[in-house]
Every structure is written in structure tokens, then in C-alpha cells.
Amino acid sequence: MRIETMYSHLSDYLFINFLNTVRHKYSRTTDFLEEGNLDEWFLLMREKQLLTEHQIEKLQEAPISIKELQSFRDQWRTYFHHTSSNSPSIDALERNTERTPLSFEISSGSLVPVPLRGGTDGFISLLSFFMLQAYEKGVFPKVKNCENPTCLALFIDKKGKRKWCSMSVCGNRMKAQKHYDKKKQI
């Protein structure tokens, strides 16, 4: 199955798409990283112009530990769900980019970060860089959890009014359920 069909929507933010590599559907949780779809996910991010070919090539130069990526993802999902005081800090993102420095190149007229080393550390450094950029631009407070209790998706609520990861998926389901519940009470 093509990974794009596994997502109900995609974000303009690489780190949000990464954090959403876990999904709950039909009483089953699917971890896209666990299923070995990282290469397909990289290609999808390339198609969406969130990663360049050179960034992907560099990341694939060394082995990538799925367990470490899952741990990084899960820590930051916890941070955005506000469910733990053990959440990572912004300082942790800075340390990640210091541990595996980035170089920069021009691609399609834009300055693009490329990790100096590939593999797990390179990927976490790249994600950390993009997260730091988002933090600096004030995006972190706009990261929201879908109000569908069975959905695990995070999204950016730019206007402060959005409730669901996708109106066409969770929004319609929740509105239909609310309507059904009202009719049932009558």
C-alpha cells in the first residue's frame, strides 16, 4: 500500500508529518515506521517538496534506527499532547543539531539544511532544525490534537478555530456521530 493513502492529510511541516507516522483506525494502531515504510515516507516528503533528493541521499548513507526514531517521535508527541512533565525541551532540539551539525546548500532558490552525517543522528538533527524553526516562528502553540478521541493526528491550527485533523475524515465522522446521538435521545 502506498504510504500517501495511509494519511488522511499531509501537513506543510515535515516534523508534523513525522509525528503523524502513527495512526489509530478501526481499533488498531499502525506505526508506519515499524512497518518499514521509512523509505516510502522519504519519497512522499520529496514529492511534497519537504525534503530534497540530496537530503534523502545523505540520510540514507548510514543505518537508521527505527527504535530511536520511534522514541524521538513518541517523546515529542507526548510534548504536544501535554500529558507528561517528562517531555523533551527545546534545549534537547538544540543539542540534537549540535551533535550532528548541518551544512546548507541552495536548492530551487532556497537555503536547505543537509546533515553532515546520515543515519539516525542526521535525521534527528534535521527534524530538530525544522522544529526549532517552527518554534521560533511561533508554530508550537498552534500544534493541536484532533478532537476525535480515536484519532492520533496532530495538526497546525493557524486560525485558532480548527478542531479536527481533517474535516473530510474526522470532522465528518464527529459531526455525524453528534447528529446520531441527538436523534437517539429523542
pLDDT (average), residues 107-132: 95
Q: Is 129 exposed, middle or buried (0-12, 13-18, 19+ CB in 10 A)?
A: buried
Name the percent of the chain lying above pLDDT 90. Answer: 56
Number of domains in the chain: 1
**Predicted confidence (pLDDT) per residue in 132-159, tens digit:** 999 999 999 999 998 888 888 899 998 8
**67-72-78 Cα angle (round to 5):** 120
Please report which confidence band the pLDDT of residue 179 belongs to, taking 50, 70 and 90 as the band edges. Answer: low
Place of cell 524553526: 133
CB atoms within 10 A of CB 178: 10
pTM of the model: 0.85
pLDDT greater than 90 at residue 82 = no
Please report which confidence band the pLDDT of residue 183 belongs to, taking 50, 70 and 90 as the band edges. Answer: low
Separation between Cα atoms, residue 57 and residue 114, nearest integer Å: 10
pLDDT greater than 50 at residue 1 = no
Q: Higher model confidence: residue 81 or residue 68?
A: 68
Q: Closest by alpha carbon to 126, among 27, 34, 58, 39?
A: 58
Expressed as residue numbers, the domain containing 73 is: 3-185
Query: What is the domain-level CATH number for residue 60?
Result: 1.10.3300.10
Q: Letter for the amino acid at 164?
A: W
